[in-house]
């Protein structure tokens, strides 16, 4: 039986830039990506994105808005992964890499590295909203 896996991704504005993690594991090992991961059974997507943000970046977050739903069956080489992308505002904690993040870095919207999955599209889709937020954080 083929299944769809539900995931979440977070765009986190921080110090005028956005937070990206360098992936420790395949697929896309050593590529930068948005913090995120698989929604656990019995968990809401909202609690999953905040959990993943905490695990991968050390930050406590608050959901600002949904960027969109990304469902292209080819977006992840492991299978059909559907992701809900959120803008998450930092509300505490200490910025550090954790769990499956090899390292963590801040990037300007106009100087992004090559990104894993379809994360560049997610950031582009959020760009207009991010410009207003980045000037405030």
Cα–Cα separations (whole angstroms), residue 99 to 56, 59, 79, 103: 6, 13, 22, 10
The span from the CA of 52 to the CA of 2, in Å, is 25
Contacts for 2 with CB less than 8 Å, ≥ 6 apart:
79, 80
Q: Which two tokens stand for residue 15?
A: 């110090």
Which one is catalytic: 40, 103, 120, 127? Answer: 103
The span from the CA of 137 to the CA of 82, in Å, is 29
Q: Which two tokens stand for residue 2?
A: 């083929």
Residue 127 catalytic? no
Q: Which two tokens stand for residue 18?
A: 């956005």
Laid out side by side, the sheet with 5-11 consists of 36-38, 5-11, 81-93, 59-70
Positions annotated as catalytic residues are 103
């Amino acid at each position: 039986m083929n299944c769809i896996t539900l995931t979440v991704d977070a765009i986190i504005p921080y110090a005028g830039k956005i937070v990206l993690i360098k992936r420790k594991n395949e697929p896309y090992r050593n590529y930068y990506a948005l913090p995120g991961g698989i929604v656990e059974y019995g968990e809401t997507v909202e609690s999953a994105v905040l959990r993943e943000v905490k695990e991968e970046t050390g930050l406590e977050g608050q959901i600002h808005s949904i960027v969109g739903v990304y469902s292209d069956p080819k977006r992840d080489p492991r299978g059909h992964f559907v992701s809900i992308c959120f803008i998450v505002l930092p509300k505490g904690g200490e910025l550090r890499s954790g769990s499956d993040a090899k390292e963590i870095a801040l990037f300007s919207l106009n100087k992004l590295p090559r990104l894993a999955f379809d994360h560049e599209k997610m950031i582009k889709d959020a760009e207009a909203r991010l410009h207003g937020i980045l000037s405030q954080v």
